[in-house]
Structure 1
């Protein structure tokens, strides 16, 4: 197997699932600290925003050929994710206990997107050179790949996996936090 193909397999079958598992562990920690009664809906929405910040580049890389546009989106999403992650901890730390398990989950949630971005750069090195040299002509379109990474079945299985370990749990967290926020607002009124 070619080196690039091995790196793609590493990303698809190790890094992407590990990122989802780390997100689930993080959600379990939020639930254990009763986030709905501490940092509340604002922090929960921040978590959802960070998930979306990574979901967009992941889906783009799974569905489209990586070109300068995709690489710029991936880089911007990673930078935005880093800024929001920093704000998230700054916001939450004075409001609730952040356990050792949650800190470990945060380590994975912060480093895996960087590792994935760097692997995308390595796998698509000629595109990275085009990005650096500003050779962007013809590089600003979404070109659907003729084949799916991981084969035909990968994307539905991955999306299903992420729905179970991240999307549904964080939707539940948002809802739990919203219910408590509305109850608190009604109690004050």
Structure 2
């Protein structure tokens, strides 16, 4: 499976592009001084979106893909979209959201959908089975991916997630909390 072009596109193009878009979004927040405008609430919404999409990414990385996992990915996508709508609705009322940031948001919304489409194409019979079609019965069991994703890829990905998402967005929240405290004094 690791030699399938679609798997390689997912691993080495779609996921990195997604991380880069998330980091670019953080740069936009930093440039707009989010801590002085939308503050902690918007940063918390960003972390919530990160957690939502992170659950889907972890499931796809470590669990055997079947109808249940595909359904989970689809649900996570729609929950993430609802949170993104909440986030942007709040943000535009509190601060200027630039055209560049809006364009980056379009990447952050479409890339998860593209990833789900690729995963579904790779597991087409289970995708069809999810909706009652195709030659297979839908499977909803949880099991580890066999063979597993290479450990070197998982480690590199987790380091990139830490550097491009966890640390920047935690720093954003910290700046917001610090700004809130100094405005109360």
Scaled by the length of structure 2, the TM-score of the pair is 0.92
**Greater shift after overlay, 83-92 or 139-148?**
139-148
The Cα of 1:3 is off from its aligned counterpart by 10
Match of 2:47 in 1: 48
- Which runs of 5 or more structure 1 residues have no equivalent in the other structure? none
CA distance in 2, matches of 1:124, 1:140: 13
- Which runs of 5 or more structure 2 residues have no equivalent in the other structure? none
1:16-35 equivalence runs, <5 A: 16-35=15-34
The Cα of 1:179 is off from its aligned counterpart by 1.5
CA distance in 1, matches of 2:173, 2:141: 35
The Cα of 1:176 is off from its aligned counterpart by 0.9
CA distance in 1, matches of 2:175, 2:158: 23
Distance 1:180 1:3, change over 3 A: closer
Deviations 1:24-55 (A, max 9, x none): 00001101110011011000010111111111
Scaled by the length of structure 1, the TM-score of the pair is 0.90
The Cα of 1:152 is off from its aligned counterpart by 2.9
CA distance in 2, matches of 1:4, 1:61: 17
Preserved CA contact (<8 Å) 1:4 1:123:
no
Match of 2:142 in 1: 142
CA distance in 2, matches of 1:3, 1:108: 25
Match of 2:123 in 1: 124
Tell me, what secondary structure is at the counterpart of 1:83? Answer: helix
The Cα of 1:84 is off from its aligned counterpart by 0.9
Tell me, what secondary structure is at the counterpart of 1:153? Answer: helix
Say what the alpha-carbon RMSD is for the aligned residues: 1.7
